[in-house]
Amino acid sequence: MRLALVIIAILFVVFGAAFGALNAERITLDLYFWQPTVPKGALILSAVVVGWLAGGIVAWLAPRPRIHRELREARKKLREVQAEPQPPRDGTPEDA
């Protein structure tokens, strides 16, 4: 499994380098207060990486409120079950 991940990562690096080399022409970004000139391939690859990281962070943080709500509900249900009288464990009725 680890070897497969390493091979996939190497393939992405190779394809990224080839993509950057094929899109080497420089473009100017107008950010109103600053106009950097950057290679088109590097700009696209960096935008993909930033988007991938932002998506990963959102996916990592998003389930937390739902998990906390489910945990609160489970604790409440557990308290209710513990507060109820428990039937005898040996199978004999209490009244007998």
| Host domain of residue 72 | 19-81
3-state helix, strand, coil in the chain (%, to 5): 65, 5, 25
Residues 6+ apart with CB under 8 A from 44: 19, 23
pLDDT at 50: 93
- Residue 35: both structure tokens together: 């106009």
Residue 47 lies in a domain: yes
Residue 26 lies in a domain: yes
Mean pLDDT by 10 residues, the chain (96 residues): 86 84 87 89 86 89 80 89 76 59
Residue 6 lies in a domain: no
pLDDT at 14: 87
Residue 68's Cβ-side half-sphere holds a number of Cα atoms within 13 Å equal to 5
pLDDT at 91: 62
Phi first, then psi: what are they for 37, rounded to 5°?
-110, 120
pLDDT at 16: 81
Residue 72 lies in a domain: yes
Instruction: State the angle between helix axes of 40-61 and 2-22 in degrees (0 to 180), rounded to the nearest 10.
Output: 140
